[in-house]
Chain A
């Protein structure tokens, strides 16, 4: 077990060193992929054996590494997503002028991601935490030099460090009270740790309203890094939150309600803004916020509920994290493949790619169905479980709990509807119909390595769905408070009609095949153009992203406040030019961040007055400080 994990780390490290020689640069990413796969295998072993390797948690400042089953699960996530991402990254970076530094940074990022769950003391934890933030920023800056990208990276670093201060506060407080590896007793410090952890880990996980960095940073990274950031980095941040809220402090229902609120906000907000995006990678970034929201909703339910349902909700959260990692890695890598083939990722410029690139587009189509939480795929299975956890909250006897459950439940239902619409749009605009640009009409399918990576991830979406029962059993069992989440196969959970993932898979496949045969019975005549009231079709009239979402935009106008500007230029009485500009501003930015930014700039201007540069004034400050301190000592405030 330990040997396997060490072999994985060593292979990754070798892969990082490979670019130091020009002749071995090409081997860097494949070697790293092998290392990631070894790490995943080691993690599976730890998880399956429910064993602990290496050191145990300690509040001492003594750098150490080790794994238990929960950490093992997250190492599996890191390894299993990194392996296909690195394989696809090799294809994407083949001709890149910066592939050597990028290969080193990518390997370091994977190691940092795997290191965080393995950290066993506060210094290792915080060290890996900072590396996990800084390495992708460095990689983005190496890969792209545009000003807009630098701005995005700056926002990423600024927001994650302001919010990330919460992680430092929480972890150092825990270490100070000796609660790493133990449990902090309820009280003032525990409350502070809880709030700081939710703010700190929540920021990094992309939880609204501290998610502003995510839709900026994820789209500008190279596809394989976007995949790692969205699929894995957000989950590793949730790992910290889980440790703090479930293990290192005593679980409280209040924290659960806070998570339900934040999760509902993230899920609905993320899905809504995802739907409104016209650029594929930005859309996927917003959808990551949505999915983190779903995981956090399930975690909130796990804190509010007790007994076996708490374990089920916990298992549902981890299972959705795994499922999201699978299909979001697939979607980001697929978006990268489309971007390499077509040269852009605006949905209005793709189209018809299922015919041109059947492998990449076919895998993407499966990913879209999975993330839209449709049966029989994995997204449906975990969202089904999360919905049932919330139904259980809504079934509580206390009015507050029942209403909180009902609101979260409705929010998750609305989220599912929005995600369905968003990914129908993605699949429809990017993959189906007629090509929307000349580049899309001549696109070539992705290289073999990328195709294999995409196919493996698409297969994992089916495999994870089929294995829902055993996985829920294993992951629910990781709940620190214990409790059995029910029988292992085909989750026949208490108080539900049962979720038979295999039954759905088999019945739907059989019925579809049968009905398709039936429909094919009479053959088909020559193709005819689509009905347009008898007029010839015109590609310029093709539906756009904005058109598809118009109904919803109009209905939600009071909340979304879309802006629209039409300028008509006339010469004489003849219209010569019409300019149309429409956008739906991101209201977390306009209503929350911009005022906050203005206020802090104003505060900074005020504070600047204190710094006049006059030596006498500074001496005055020192004198005042000494007097205040003396007064405090005199009053015995400072011992």
Chain B
């Protein structure tokens, strides 16, 4: 194993600890942009500490699936973190680096969340889970189209390492712009940010990703909340891997990655301040726009 791979592997694991920071930074910036002081960027860590000291609470009538779900969700998200390379490198961890594997791991987390919602029988949890699964139907299709389009730049490879190498020089190609834009749309839906979902909502009827978390407490909730933050971190890293310029050395690569993640966090804070949440039934149309972009990009690339 080369030094670069070792560093990247260490950073993938460090993502476990860094993921809450990205979410905290977005919240902090958002507060500033909205004229508030906003929570400290470290607030997610305080939340985790608070939750980790509390005991779990079972929902009456629920069973082993409800209990196991937080661990499965967090494990699938963690495994997905290990699949995404950092600064163009990664040790693989026996999981490989394939984009489709990543899609599968995220689906596993979604499935476990939905089953937990069914196990509680709670209307709000199921409402959120049903919406999440319905959006995922469209999001998965578009995500695969983005992968197909990005893979053209890497000689047809869906290896994230190859994609990270190839994504940098491709900006002269209009199809790459289509892929980047479509990826942005999917990323918003996948991470549950505005305008698809409002991560700050406390109104049960509007919840998508938060709904199934309502019935959890203590460390279970800590794991699920962490998984939500980790998914944001993961999608940011994926965006960086696919679309940020590649660097010669690992150090430069890390600097670029850090800068790009910070930039994306700021962009998220800005869009979340400027855009209101859209009607739930319009989300598929929003994602359909991504699909149209990809097909147009693909047609453009082959003509």
Interface residues, chain A, with chain B CB atoms under 8 Å away: 352, 354-355, 365, 369, 372-375, 380, 384, 387-388, 391-392, 394-399, 402-403, 405-407, 409-414, 416-418, 420-421, 424-425, 427-429, 432-434, 492, 495-500, 502-504, 506-508, 511-516, 518-533, 537, 541-543, 547-552, 554-555
Contacts and interface: CB of A to CB of B under 8 A. Distances in A.
Given A399-B303, A551-B280, A414 B141 contact: yes
Interface of B: 52-66, 68, 70-72, 74-76, 78-79, 82-83, 92-101, 103-105, 107-108, 110-111, 114-115, 117-126, 129-131, 133-134, 136-145, 147-148, 151-152, 155-161, 204, 214-215, 218-220, 222-223, 280-281, 284, 291, 294-295, 298-299, 301-303
B98 A417 contact: no
B56 A522 contact: yes
Contacts of A433: 61-62, 118-121
Given A417-B133, A529-B60, 20 more contacts: A374-B107, A374-B111, A391-B151, A396-B302, A399-B299, A413-B103, A417-B138, A428-B117, A432-B62, A497-B96, A498-B92, A499-B98, A507-B79, A508-B75, A516-B71, A520-B56, A523-B56, A533-B204, A537-B121, A550-B130
A30 B25 CA distance: 65
A395 B144 CA distance: 13
A531 B122 contact: yes
B74 A496 contact: no
Contacts of B79: 504, 507-508, 511
Contacts of A395: 148, 151-152, 156
Contacts of A392: 156
- Point out which of B74, B148, B281 has the most chain A C-beta atoms below 10 A from its C-beta: B148
Contacts of B105: 375
A524 B120 contact: no
A375 B98 CA distance: 13
Contact of B104 (A384, A407, A519): A384
Contacts of A496: 96, 98, 100, 157-159
A533 B295 CA distance: 45
Given A498-B96, A522-B54, A515 B108 contact: no
Contacts of A409: 144-145, 148
| CB-based closest 7 A-B pairs | A428-B118, A497-B98, A503-B94, A417-B137, A498-B96, A395-B156, A511-B75
A388 B100 contact: yes
Contact of A428 (B56, B115, B215): B115
A525 B55 CA distance: 6
Contacts of A502: 94
A86 to B, nearest CB: 31
Nearest to A355: B63
Contacts of B302: 396-399, 402-403
A504 B95 contact: yes
Nearest to A424: B114
Nearest to B120: A530
Contacts of B101: 375, 384, 497, 499, 504
B141 A549 contact: no
10 contacts: A409-B144, A413-B141, A413-B145, A420-B110, A516-B71, A518-B219, A527-B57, A529-B59, A548-B126, A551-B134
Nearest to B158: A496
Contacts of B160: 497
Given A411-B141, A522-B54, A369 B72 contact: no
Nearest to B51: A522
B137 A495 contact: no
Contacts of B83: 497
A395 B118 CA distance: 40
A122 B120 CA distance: 57
Contact of B140 (A394, A403, A414, A425): A414
Contacts of A548: 126, 130
A216 to B, nearest CB: 26
Q: Which residue, of B63, B115, B159, B214, has the highest number of chain A Cβ atoms within 10 A?
A: B115
A543 B121 contact: yes
A515 B109 CA distance: 14
B149 to A, nearest CB: 8
A549 B131 CA distance: 9
Contacts of B280: 551
A533 B214 CA distance: 11
A394 B148 contact: yes
Given A354-B65, A503-B93, A515 B71 contact: yes
B298 A527 contact: no
B221 to A, nearest CB: 10
Contact of B124 (A399, A526, A531, A551): A531
Contacts of A522: 52-56, 218-219
Given A410-B145, A432-B118, A497-B161, A531 B215 contact: yes
A414 B142 CA distance: 9
Contact of B63 (A354, A497, A507, A513): A354
A508 B76 CA distance: 7
Nearest to B154: A495
Contacts of B125: 530
A313 to B, nearest CB: 14
Contacts of A365: 65
